[in-house]
A and B are shown apart, each in its own frame.
Chain A
């Protein structure tokens, strides 16, 4: 057993796993906090909705598409000054979180918007016809109705973030992906590669299962 994994430093693996989980947890939380309101705004300002506004919706859509079209590795580097401003460093786990959030929030916002679009038109009208304010409409109807879709969106986003964290190794963020690149790829340590990939697979599998279970729990259709 120890021969097969001769190059594997298990304490380093543990630290990398912890780094990955910290980056994932921190960036997912902030992505949801930022992306959810952005997604709701994208939806509300789109044509036919209560706040329909071509200018606002156009600017938001452009900003979202712009951020989504920048490859994450480029975003990491371009954002360095902003990252330093926000968290005081562009390195390590803390330095990786701002670009992870900026990369994932627009993506999540788009998914939230499309989940909101699935809410039945008659349902929205019915709630408006009751004399609801826009706040009532969002919190009492749109978000509860779209909750399964939003959870599914968060699951997809979390998994995308896992692969983003691997790239964050490029700014010295650490984590499993970083380990896979530095040891597994650059030093041909296949055993390290294998261990990290298996751990990432377990993480992704866990996220998907947990997400699916929550979606089922909240689906009443």
Chain B
């Protein structure tokens, strides 16, 4: 549905933000783009609704070349691409109702349509009683909900999220992400989500691209990129703030075991320990959930018994790497 081919973007200052990006986003998926600040994420997402134009390469949505559009053509496209922002981008001089009504007014909707549609949108984001308030009277999470209602006003089929949760606390972030996931499921929205937080990607995304210095260094399903990162930049980002990368001294073979889905519910380790006489030391580990699957990843030290048989048994339940 969204396709970027060999996209380069250099600014007038000479600063190159993107250096040859290829990406494809399928209809109905939540696609994450993760990278550190300065990686080019914001530029990339702005190419999708023509807020920025590529220096070379093409950006297309459903086969329409976005960068070839201007005037009315571009405005029509923008009505089907909603966008939400880190700083919300609400008009401080307008009430919540008027903020949500703005895209409708711009699109030329009449009063009756606005009076019908805005309460619908406010109800959708859980702010039905807040229409008369000004943005300054709302919490950060509520402001972003207004931003979402506004982005949905013209009935888009794509939603762009530019660091939409970066200004929010963890709990509010979770509730906004839940709302985004609901919209994806219920309205079939295709969502492109820019973030620097792995947690955000883990919670809502189906697939993810890792952006580093203006290039995509890795793309894949969230599980694949999380549990088995190929690019050094991805590993560095995953290891941030944890000590996973620290070398472990253990007298015996060390393996990494990755269990997915229902496998984490099974008493794998103790059963294999009993059967093979091998004991396991758990050196490192994490267990969690992706958007729709669970995972467990353990770093194990093996000692005693029939370690070869233990390894073979482990391989039947999950992926083992040494």
Q: Which residues of B contact A126 (CB under 8 A)?
A: 83, 85, 89-90, 147, 150
On whether the beta carbons of A144 and B79 are closer than 8 Å, the reply is no
On whether the beta carbons of A145 and B51 are closer than 8 Å, the reply is no
Q: A131-B79, A220-B134, A220-B136 are in contact. Are A123 and B91 (CB under 8 A)?
A: yes
Q: How far is the CA of A145 from the CA of B76 in the complex (A)?
A: 25
B85, B102, B135, B160: the one within 8 Å of A140 (CB): B102
On whether the beta carbons of A145 and B92 are closer than 8 Å, the reply is yes
* Number of residues on chain A facing chain B (CB within 8 A): 24
Query: B43: CB under 8 A from chain A?
Result: no
A128 → chain B closest CB, angstroms: 6
Query: A147: CB under 8 A from chain B?
Result: yes
B101 → chain A closest CB, angstroms: 10
Q: How far is the CA of A126 from the CA of B213 in the complex (A)?
A: 26
On whether the beta carbons of A130 and B91 are closer than 8 Å, the reply is no
The residues in B between 87 and 123 inclusive whose CB is less than 8 angstroms from any CB of A are 87-94, 102-103, 105-107
Query: A12: CB under 8 A from chain B?
Result: no
Beta-carbon contacts of B117-161 to A below 8 Å, as 1s and 0s?
A: 000000000000000001110000000000100100110000010
Query: B81: CB under 8 A from chain A?
Result: yes
For residue B103, which residue of chain A has the nearest CB?
Answer: A130
On whether the beta carbons of B49 and A129 are closer than 8 Å, the reply is yes
Q: Which residues of B contact A128 (CB under 8 A)?
A: 51, 78
On whether the beta carbons of B91 and A129 are closer than 8 Å, the reply is no
B79, B89, B107, B153: the one within 8 Å of A120 (CB): B89
A110 → chain B closest CB, angstroms: 22
Query: B235: CB under 8 A from chain A?
Result: no
Q: A126-B85, A131-B154, A220-B93 are in contact. Are A140 and B105 (CB under 8 A)?
A: yes
B48 → chain A closest CB, angstroms: 10
On whether the beta carbons of B76 and A131 are closer than 8 Å, the reply is yes
On whether the beta carbons of B75 and A122 are closer than 8 Å, the reply is no
Q: A126-B150, A131-B75, A131-B154 are in contact. Are A220 and B92 (CB under 8 A)?
A: yes
On whether the beta carbons of B94 and A221 are closer than 8 Å, the reply is no
Query: B86: CB under 8 A from chain A?
Result: yes
Query: A132: CB under 8 A from chain B?
Result: yes
Q: Which residues of A contact B81 (CB under 8 A)?
A: 129
Q: Which residues of A contact B102 (CB under 8 A)?
A: 127, 130, 140-141
A122, A124, A133 interface centre (most CB from chain B within 10 Å)? A122
The residues in B between 30 and 79 inclusive whose CB is less than 8 angstroms from any CB of A are 46, 49, 51, 74-79
Q: Which residues of B contact A120 (CB under 8 A)?
A: 87, 89, 92
Query: A136: CB under 8 A from chain B?
Result: yes
Q: Which residues of B contact A122 (CB under 8 A)?
A: 85-89
Beta-carbon contacts of A192-221 to B below 8 Å, as 1s and 0s?
A: 000000000000000000000000001011
Q: Which residues of B contact A132 (CB under 8 A)?
A: 75, 106
For residue B88, which residue of chain A has the nearest CB?
Answer: A122
Q: How far is the CA of A141 from the CA of B105 in the complex (A)?
A: 12
Q: Which residues of A contact B135 (CB under 8 A)?
A: 220
Q: How far is the CA of A127 from the CA of B86 in the complex (A)?
A: 15
B77, B85, B107 interface centre (most CB from chain A within 10 Å)? B85
Q: How far is the CA of A193 from the CA of B85 in the complex (A)?
A: 58
On whether the beta carbons of A144 and B107 are closer than 8 Å, the reply is no
On whether the beta carbons of A144 and B106 are closer than 8 Å, the reply is no
For residue B94, which residue of chain A has the nearest CB?
Answer: A144
On whether the beta carbons of B106 and A131 are closer than 8 Å, the reply is yes
Q: Which residues of B contact A147 (CB under 8 A)?
A: 93
The residues in A between 128 and 154 inclusive whose CB is less than 8 angstroms from any CB of B are 128-133, 136, 140-141, 144-145, 147
Q: How far is the CA of A220 from the CA of B99 in the complex (A)?
A: 13
B273 → chain A closest CB, angstroms: 55
Q: How far is the CA of A127 from the CA of B153 in the complex (A)?
A: 13
On whether the beta carbons of B87 and A140 are closer than 8 Å, the reply is no
Q: Which residues of A contact B103 (CB under 8 A)?
A: 130-131
For residue A130, which residue of chain B has the nearest CB?
Answer: B103
Q: How far is the CA of A208 from the CA of B319 in the complex (A)?
A: 74
For residue A143, which residue of chain B has the nearest CB?
Answer: B93
On whether the beta carbons of A123 and B89 are closer than 8 Å, the reply is yes
28 pairs from A and B in contact (CB 8 Å cutoff)? A120-B87, A120-B89, A122-B85, A122-B87, A122-B89, A123-B89, A124-B89, A125-B46, A125-B51, A125-B83, A125-B89, A126-B147, A126-B150, A127-B102, A129-B78, A129-B82, A129-B160, A130-B150, A131-B74, A131-B75, A131-B106, A131-B107, A132-B75, A133-B75, A140-B105, A141-B91, A145-B92, A218-B93
Besides the known contacts A121-B87, A131-B76, 5 further A-B residue pairs in the complex with CB atoms under 8 A apart: A127-B91, A129-B51, A130-B78, A133-B106, A218-B93
Rank and list the top 7 A-B pairs by shortest CB-CB distance, nearest first. A126-B89, A122-B89, A131-B75, A131-B78, A130-B103, A122-B85, A129-B83
